[in-house]
Amino acid sequence: MDKKMYSWQMTATDADFQLAENPFPELEGHEVLIKIAGCGVCHTDLSFWHNGVKTKKELPLTLGHEISGTVIAGPSEWVGKNVIIPAVLPCGECELCKKGRSNMCQKQLMPGNDFHGGFASHIKVPLRFLCPVPDLLLTKYPLEKLSVIADAISTPYQVIKKSELEAGDLAIVIGVGGVGIYAALIARIFGAKVLALDIDDNKLEIAKKHGVDAILNVKGLDIKAIKENVREIAKGLGVSRFGWKIFELSGTKQGQELGFNLITYTSTLSIVGFTLDKTEVRLSNLMAFDAKLIGTWGCKPELYPEVVDLITTDKLKINDFIETFPLSKINEVFRNTLNNQYQKRSVLVPDFE
């Protein structure tokens, strides 16, 4: 076996990724070496590469935290298993882990941030929270496409559970891109009526085609007009005018301000998208409406099997939302993603010689 691994490393903000070659790393007893099948491109990666967000590990660094692959070295019971690597790898022993908040473990490790990530041929990771992929699922999807479970699907799954969404609720999803589309579909699986808001007609039509109950293009509309439209849509869907569950996934100042302005009596606003921009809101609205404002960080590994089951049982179909590219095209894919050239989640597939 060739004992070398290859990766595309970030050396500076906005600079092209550079190809690097290294020997296989030494493993400790709690670690495995995984041959990577695919790694999704996330806007968090763009934040590191383009927006000046600092990684915890100094550069040069291999980015990528949305990873699937096959264990090729480590404890014998793991070798040969196909797995998803959680984007947040907790310690499993601390106060937060023991309280069911392992996604916020202060000793957590994130591939492509704390250590070299998934835009590579191989990766060394702790084995404790790896999520095995059932053979049945691999008859439906190639392993590389399942990499999106590690963030694009699991993150909205966790926040929908945290929001206490119930069947018959109105779920308003702001931004139905690579992560938001899954939030909308998972909310439908939970029995909600779903309204998708975006500024891109193509994304809205895709959401509508896949079962979202209503769509609204908010481009050029002021807050008052949007609220009036949303009230009319809610009425037409036959849902309560109370208790709306609002999910902000656009990761923009405008999206966050819109989400806050849509809060009504007993609403819950969940912030999923990330931006460095600051917003100005009247927090007293939370008091006046007896509403909740919550955040989410990734997804605790304990929930991954539930996500895998949704896909294995065909409740959630993902093929239409994923596009694969050779990893050698990473610089082109990042630039195109930055310029909003893709409608689907990009997954980079290793193609090293």
**Beta strands 131-132 and 245-248: pairing type?**
unpaired
* Residue 340, token pair as written in the block: 């909003």
100 and 129 belong to one structural domain: yes
**Beta strands 31-40 and 345-349: pairing type?**
antiparallel
Quick one: pLDDT band at residue 322, thresholds 50, 70, 90? very high
Quickly count: other Cβ atoms within 10 Å of residue 302's Cβ: 17
201 and 65 belong to one structural domain: no
Mean pLDDT of 86-113: 96
pLDDT of residue 2: 66
62 and 132 belong to one structural domain: yes
Quickly count: other Cβ atoms within 10 Å of residue 14's Cβ: 12
SS3 state of residue 183: helix
205 and 141 belong to one structural domain: no
85 and 195 belong to one structural domain: no
Mean pLDDT of 19-30: 95
Domain boundary among 252, 270, 295: 295
pLDDT of residue 3: 87
20 and 79 belong to one structural domain: yes
More reliable by pLDDT, 52 or 217: 217
Distance separating alpha carbons of residues 105 and 102, to the nearest angstrom: 5
Contact 9, 301 (CB under 8 A): no
pLDDT of residue 247: 98
How many separate domains does the chain show?
Answer: 2
Contact 187, 176 (CB under 8 A): no
164 and 191 belong to one structural domain: yes
Angle between helices 304-312 and 154-162 (to 10 degrees): 110
209 and 278 belong to one structural domain: yes
What is the pLDDT of the chain when averaged over all its residues? Answer: 96
271 and 214 belong to one structural domain: yes
Measure Cα distances from 87 to 2, 64, 307 in Å: 27, 9, 14
Measure Cα distances from 273 to 101, 227, 250 in Å: 20, 21, 5
More reliable by pLDDT, 275 or 163: 163
Q: What is the gyration radius of the CA atoms in the chain, in angstroms? A: 20
* Residue 214, token pair as written in the block: 């209503």
147 and 9 belong to one structural domain: yes
pLDDT surpasses 90 at 8: yes
DSSP codes, 75-103: STTTTT-EEEE-SSB--SSSHHHHTT-GG
Distance separating alpha carbons of residues 117 and 125, to the nearest angstrom: 9
pLDDT of residue 139: 97
pLDDT surpasses 90 at 14: yes
Quick one: pLDDT band at residue 352, thresholds 50, 70, 90? confident
Distance separating alpha carbons of residues 128 and 195, to the nearest angstrom: 38
**In this predicted model, what pLDDT tens digit does every residue of 150-165 receive, in sequence order?**
999 999 999 999 999 9
Distance separating alpha carbons of residues 305 and 316, to the nearest angstrom: 14
**In this predicted model, what pLDDT tens digit does every residue of 122-150 receive, in sequence order?**
999 999 999 999 999 999 999 999 999 99
Count Cα neighbours of 79 within 13 Å in the Cβ-side half-sphere: 5
SS3 assignment for 25-57: CCCCCCEEEEEEEEEECCHHHHHHHCCCCCCCC
Phi first, then psi, for residue 62 (nearest 5°) are -85, 115
CATH of the domain at 206: 3.40.50.720
pLDDT of residue 1: 46
Distance separating alpha carbons of residues 200 and 141, to the nearest angstrom: 28
Quick one: pLDDT band at residue 353, thresholds 50, 70, 90? low
Q: Tell the residue number behind the tokens 């993150």, with chain if given.
A: 155
Q: What percent of the chain has pLDDT over 90?
A: 95
290 and 158 belong to one structural domain: yes
Beta strand spans in 154-295 (E): 170-174, 193-198, 214-217, 245-248, 268-271, 292-295
Quick one: pLDDT band at residue 351, thresholds 50, 70, 90? very high
CATH of the domain at 123: 3.90.180.10
Query: Who's near 280: CB < 8 A, 6+ residues apart?
Result: none
* Residue 263, token pair as written in the block: 């809060």
> For residue 272, what are the domain limits?
154-295
Distance separating alpha carbons of residues 341 and 318, to the nearest angstrom: 20
pLDDT of residue 343: 85
145 and 176 belong to one structural domain: no
